[in-house]
Structure formats: C-alpha cells, structure tokens
Chains A and B, each alone.
Chain A
Amino acid sequence: ILNVEQSPQSLHVQEGDSTNFTCSFPSSNFYALHWYRWETAKSPEALFVMTLNGDEKKKGRISATLNTKEGYSYLYIKGSQPEDSATYLCAPSGNTGKLIFGQGTTLQVKP
C-alpha cells in the first residue's frame, strides 16, 4: 500500500466548530484502516481500527467512517475543543500488520 494522502495538511478552527479530515488510500490489498492522534512531544495514540466497508466508529466527540471500495476514510470531530489540538494520522495496512502512515492533518483549535 503506497500513496496515503491526508487532507487538509493543517486546519485552524475555533472552539465549538465541527471539523472533518480525509484519508485517501489505494483500495487494493486493503486489510484495515487505523486512525491515530498525535500530540506534540508525545507518542501516537490509537483512536480507531476499521476493517469493513461502511464501518463507522465513535469515541466521544470523534467519529470515523470507512469506504474501502473507493479508498477513503473520514474523521469527524464535533464541537472541537482546545484539547483536540493534535496531528491526526491515518494508516492503512495489509494483512502483514505493516502500517503505512499518511503525513497527517494538524488541527489547531483556538479557544
């Protein structure tokens, strides 16, 4: 799996705004799609793993959807808070477990 693209590269929103990001990936040899949250000076923290087309996962105000046929996933944050400021990484994997990380979307939420 190559050519994982995330957009936008960066995003600045006001507290309370809802936002979403996109992850695009080749749909061949797909096994799973991972989303990670990565705060500055910390290590990436797993948010979701999705495997099936149409999967939707939710964790608090954050949710994600998966379309394996067209090769994309969306991450949504409802009512952004300053503590949501981080870089959000997506990573598809084949069945070997090897993740190919995108460059990430960096979110800055202003109070």
Chain B
Amino acid sequence: DARVTQTPRHKVTEMGQEVTMRCQPILGHNTVFWYRQTMMQGLELLAYFRNRAPLDDSGMPKDRFSAEMPDATLATLKIQPSEPRDSAVYFCASGLGGGDTQYFGPGTRLTVL
C-alpha cells in the first residue's frame, strides 16, 4: 500500500529555531507539492516540484522558507528562522503531474512558541 510519508509528525520549537520537515513521495511519482493548512487560508500551496525541479514557489515566504528535493525519494521544507505565525499543519503530496490525483501525506503539525 504505497503512501506518502512525512517526518516528524509533530514538532514544537521556539521562535528563531530552524525547522526541517521531510517528505518521501510515493515511488514513481514525479511531482511533489508542499501545502500549509491554516484557519484563514485553508489549504495553501507553498511550492511544488516536477522531476525534482522547482516549478512554483510563489506561495512561500522566500526570506525564511526553502524547499528542495535532494533526490527523487526525499523532499524537504525548511524554515529558518521560525516564527509563531508559522504554526500550522504542513502537508506534502505527490502525484504523476498533469491532472492526476495528488496523494497527501499525514502532515507535520508545527508549533512555534
């Protein structure tokens, strides 16, 4: 049963600390997405990759957020420095691109104190 995995599932940190969230897409999927769930915005797209190349990161605050795909089995989302307003659930999703279904991971719940 292929699934998207995310680590950690929960992260509590203090303001100013670096946070790294990891995602393992479903094997064979070439498109990876990072979303953030907030009360105001619902599901907000932060960035996405196709074949490991970033296609769109316009939804991401560039000064503190960065997203990378070091290889086809790992996507990372980093926040440095973290701020309390970054507290949210961060979801990773993967798919085959085009209009294909995106499969979501379980999410990382981040709390920045």
Q: Is B12 an interface residue (CB 8 A)?
A: no
Q: Which residues of B contact A44 (CB under 8 A)?
A: 43, 91, 104
Those of A26-61 within 8 Å (CB) of chain B: 31-32, 34, 42-46, 49, 51
Question: With A and B bound together, what is the CA distance between A45 and B55 in angstroms?
Answer: 24
User: From A92, which residue of chain B is reached at the shortest CB distance?
Assistant: B99
A51 touching B99 in the complex, CB below 8 Å, given contacts A43-B107, A45-B104: yes
**How far apart sit A31 and B106, CA to CA, in the bound complex (Å)?**
27
CB contacts under 8 Å to A, within B25-47, are: 31, 33, 42-43, 45
B99 A31 Cβ-Cβ under 8 A: yes
Q: Interface on chain B toward A: helix, strand, loop, or mixed SS?
A: strand
Point out residues on A near B: beta carbons under 8 Å.
Answer: 31-32, 34, 42-46, 49, 51, 89, 93, 95-104
A-B contact pairs, 26 of them (CB 8 A): A32-B98, A32-B99, A34-B99, A42-B106, A43-B91, A43-B104, A43-B107, A44-B104, A89-B42, A95-B99, A96-B55, A96-B56, A97-B31, A97-B48, A97-B50, A97-B98, A97-B99, A98-B45, A98-B55, A98-B56, A99-B33, A101-B42, A101-B43, A101-B45, A102-B42, A103-B42
Give the CA-CA distance A102 to B45 in the complex, in Å.
Answer: 12
Give bound CA distance, A102 to B56, whole Å.
Answer: 19
CA distance A46 to B45 in the complex (A): 17
| Contact present for A98 and B101 (CB under 8 Å) | no
**A46 with B99: CB separation less than 8 A:** no
Find chain B residues with CB under 8 A from A98 CB: 33, 45, 48, 55-56
Assembly CA distance A97 to B105 (angstroms): 17
Residue contact A34 to B98, C-beta cutoff 8 Å: no
Residue contact A104 to B56, C-beta cutoff 8 Å: no
Q: Does B20 contact A (CB under 8 A)?
A: no
Closest 4 CB pairs of A and B: A32-B99, A43-B104, A101-B43, A46-B101
